């Protein structure tokens, strides 16, 4: 199976499934809930979209997902993915940044944390059991590819409960990692 990705806009062809993520879908992930509520009164902003393709074979299934995060911030906090940990403890993932700039946050949610600076061309292996979240700190679209086993599963609940150790804010127009207590 061969797919085509337009690196300029992150459009995948063919693409059987597109999942849009609006502010209302990741409301709880941003720190400033008052600002979230104020924005939601005006508009339910589209933060990012996931284009998904499952590669099904007789023995082992993989999946590819292309995510396009639009630029912007909520209460000074840059647009980001919801972030998840895999339900299966033995499942890693590879992320490849196709376009844009930002950070990949990796967090065990039990004290260990890494922020990987990202730009077009960066490839990061995400080990099993590490939660992962991508932040768009640029003024343009951030596009990245994720490749993982179809059975890995997404645990969003644990991320919502425990939270990442750091948040990424725009401070004087530049990204700053702020430790969460």
137 binds, among Zn ion, ligand M6P, none (CB under 5 to 8 A by kind): none
**Residue 93 sits in the site that holds Zn ion (CB under 5 A):** yes
Q: With respect to Zn ion, which residue has the nearer C-beta, 85 or 169? A: 85
Centroid of chain to Cα 125: 14
Tokens of 65: 């997902």
- Exposure of 132 in the CB half-sphere (CA atoms within 13 A): 21
**Residue 107 sits in the site that holds Zn ion (CB under 5 A):** no
50 binds, among ligand M6P, Zn ion, none (CB under 5 to 8 A by kind): ligand M6P
Distance CA 46, CA 24 (A): 9
Binding string to Zn ion for residues 34 to 73, with x set by CB under 5 A, is what?
----------------------------------------
Under the rule (CB under 6 A), what is the footprint of ligand M6P?
50, 65, 67, 81-84, 93, 146, 154
Question: CB neighbours of 74 closer than 8 A, spacing ≥ 6?
Answer: 23, 30, 32, 35, 36, 39
């Amino acid at each position: 199976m061969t797919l085509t990705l337009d690196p300029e806009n992150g459009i995948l062809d063919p693409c059987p499934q597109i999942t849009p993520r609006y502010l209302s879908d990741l409301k709880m992930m941003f720190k400033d809930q008052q600002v979230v509520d104020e924005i939601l009164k005006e508009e339910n902003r589209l933060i990012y979209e996931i284009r998904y393709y499952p590669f099904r074979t007789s023995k082992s299934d993989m999946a590819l997902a292309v995510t396009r995060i639009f630029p912007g911030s909520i209460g000074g906090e840059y647009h980001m993915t919801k972030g998840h940990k895999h339900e299966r403890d033995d499942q890693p993932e590879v992320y490849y940044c196709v376009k844009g700039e930002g950070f990949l946050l990796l967090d065990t949610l039990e004290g260990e944390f890494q922020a990987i600076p990202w730009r077009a061309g960066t490839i990061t292996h995400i080990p099993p059991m590490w939660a992962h979240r991508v932040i768009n700190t640029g003024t343009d679209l951030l596009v990245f590819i994720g490749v993982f086993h179809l059975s890995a599963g997404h645990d969003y609940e644990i991320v919502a409960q425990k939270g990442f150790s750091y948040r990424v804010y725009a401070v004087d127009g530049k990204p700053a990692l702020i430790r969460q207590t």
